[in-house]
Amino acid sequence: MNEMAPSTADPDIERWRHYLLLLARMQLGPGRVDASDVVQQSLFDAYRQRDQFRGQTEAEWAAWLRRILACNMADAHRARHRLKRDADREQALDAAINQSSTSMASFLAAQHSSPSQRAGHNEQLAALAEAMATLADSTQEAIVLHYFQGWSLDRISLQLGRTPAAVAGLLKRGLKQLRALLVSESECP
């Protein structure tokens, strides 16, 4: 078995939960398929199929998990809408998941090219997802909708049932909390 693939005693798959959840929330948006259900299924599938992973790096592991997530999101979307299989839709969803990962990278403002920099970048993405998971649900949703999906404050305020000023406050406080969490984590030895 590859070192990256977790064994039954290794909770390594679980450490990717927040990363996948953030990607799923970025794609699914509110009121659609439950992102946590899709992520749970994806983690289960990854665990079950871990011996099929052929990569060597954490970046390849992340890409493999994103592919599983994209497939499960497509399945959940089809089940919800009772549509026939549409390969173009599944490919578009896979591309959208990868775009979400790129959006997360842009959010961190990190453009890396060397293998060690890419590994560090993947760690930053995972740290962002972990930090996001500590925020209140409404703050997470506001950040995802505004920064990753490009929604306006007015549209988010309608979605969350809050005033635009309250949404702006959520965003400001949420970003402040994220910065503090990410800075404190980067200072740890």
How far CA 147 is from CA of 9, 54, 126, in Å, comes to 37, 34, 17
Phi/psi at 52 (nearest 5 deg)? -90, -10
Give the span between the Cα atoms of 115 and 76, in whole angstroms: 34
Residue pair 125/106 in contact by the 8 Å Cβ criterion: no
The 3-state DSSP class for residue 170 equals: helix
Give yes or no for residue 5 having a pLDDT over 50.
no
Residue pair 124/110 in contact by the 8 Å Cβ criterion: yes
Neighbours of 1 (CB within 10 A): 10
Q: What is the pTM of this model?
A: 0.58
How far CA 102 is from CA of 5, 108, 112, 114, 185, in Å, comes to 24, 10, 12, 17, 22
pLDDT averaged over every residue in the chain: 75
Quote the tokens at residue 113: 């090219």
Residue, of 13 and 105, whose pLDDT is higher: 13
Give yes or no for residue 86 having a pLDDT over 60.
no
Residue, of 174 and 76, whose pLDDT is higher: 174
Local confidence band at 55 (pLDDT 50, 70, 90 cut-offs): confident
Give yes or no for residue 155 having a pLDDT over 80.
yes
Local confidence band at 150 (pLDDT 50, 70, 90 cut-offs): confident
**CA 15, chain centre distance (Å):** 12
Phi/psi at 104 (nearest 5 deg)? -60, -40
| Vertex 62 angle, CA 122 and 29, to 5° | 95
How far CA 83 is from CA of 65, 77, 93, in Å, comes to 25, 8, 15
Give yes or no for residue 49 having a pLDDT over 50.
yes
Residue, of 52 and 187, whose pLDDT is higher: 52
Local confidence band at 176 (pLDDT 50, 70, 90 cut-offs): very high
